[in-house]
Amino acid sequence: MTAPLAVTMGDPAGIGGELTLMAWMRRGEGVIPPFYTHDDPDRLRALCTKLGLPCPIVEITKPSETVSHFSDALPVMPLQLPAQQQPGIPEPANAAAVITSIERAVADAQAGHAAAIVTNPINKRALQEGTGFAYPGHTEFLGALGGVSKVVMMLAAPGLRVVPLTIHVALRDVFPLITTLNIVDTAQIVHATMRRDFALPTPRIAISGLNPHAGEGGSMGMEEIEIIAPAIDALRAEGIDASGPWPGDTLFHDDARAGYDVALCMYHDQALIPLKTLDFHQGVNITLGLPFVRTSPDHGTAYDRAGTGTADPRSFIEALHVARNMADARAQV
């Protein structure tokens, strides 16, 4: 029997619980893979009552019980919140439970009890204030739990996949991180993941420049000549289909996107702005380089919408689909 997906609580002040409930309610359409969640069942019941959602909750003791219950109720592995939670208002006392939810889902995946994990959005500042959370983001924390020194964030939507070389750092701190070695290491992880988890035998990786017009022959910066081009040469020497450096302002139109499977960009917004502009509601955050599959909706906690019933579950549902497809592809390797 195929293992179910594990879903994390996310920030209980945000929209994660609503997304989980709304996704389960789509199960009758035959498009939602079975999943369970590590969450507070009383919190979810209260959300159902508040929002008028007909979503019965069943408490389970192990992930394998998911499939037998999924058609009739949302399976929940109970994780009690120590403090009452109001929508839209972070509660530091609940930060440890958010972390525990992630840790338990990862443990399930590592033990083979879950095929993959889908994480609801967290607020890093709320975790830092509540627990001293030492990681700049979800991605880095998952890398530590997975025991790997380097992980890569990929954002995917229908028609575009992007990888930012640098992630959760201020723009002024980006430049020292753009090195030939970092580009090569990141592209190698992307290449391996696209082959294993996306069934692309020869993935095409387009690598962007850093400067306007990719430096225009050095007149607008030397990074393309001195750092990025040598990385591309090294990747090609390994048999990896890497191209570039391409100007960031011409890398994302329709004709350009037809020429690659994933774009490796130099910094966060260079990658995320085109993807979110192209398809904000179906973007999925995928962590590459982990020993387990992890996806997440490509948006935040949306405190302004929490508890109002206006959350849009499309990105979360797409994250479930992508996680299931990746897990199935990995199982075939």
> Are residues 153 and 222 located together in one domain of the fold?
yes
What is the three-class DSSP state of 310? coil
* pLDDT tens per residue, range 134-175: 888 888 899 999 999 899 999 999 899 999 999 888 999 999
> Are residues 173 and 263 located together in one domain of the fold?
yes
Tell me the CA end-to-end span of the chain in Å, nearest whole number. Answer: 18
> Are residues 1 and 140 located together in one domain of the fold?
yes
The band of 30, judged by pLDDT with boundaries at 50, 70 and 90, is low
The tally of domains found in the chain comes to: 2
Per-residue pLDDT, 37: 98
Q: For residue 254, what is the DSSP state?
A: H
Q: For residue 224, what is the DSSP state?
A: I
> Are residues 255 and 157 located together in one domain of the fold?
yes
> Are residues 161 and 25 located together in one domain of the fold?
no
Please determine, for residue 1, whether its predicted confidence score (pLDDT) is greater than 90.
no
> Are residues 136 and 164 located together in one domain of the fold?
no
> Are residues 86 and 212 located together in one domain of the fold?
no
> Are residues 58 and 175 located together in one domain of the fold?
no
Host H or E run for residue 78: strand 74-78
> Are residues 305 and 250 located together in one domain of the fold?
no
Measured from the Cβ of residue 308, the count of other Cβ atoms closer than 10 Å reads 14
> Are residues 134 and 18 located together in one domain of the fold?
yes
Looking at 254, 272, 289, which one is the last position of a domain? 289
> Are residues 195 and 275 located together in one domain of the fold?
yes
If you average pLDDT over residues 112-125, what whole number do you get? 95
If you average pLDDT over residues 50-70, what whole number do you get? 95
The mean pLDDT of the chain is 94
Whole-model pTM over 0.75? yes
Host H or E run for residue 223: helix 223-223
Domain of 160 in residue numbering reads as 149-289
Instruction: For residue 127, give the CATH number of its domain.
Output: 3.40.718.10
Per-residue pLDDT, 62: 97
Pairing relation of β-strands 116-118 and 152-157? unpaired
> Are residues 59 and 193 located together in one domain of the fold?
no
Nearest of 173, 136, 167, 134 to residue 153 by alpha carbon: 167
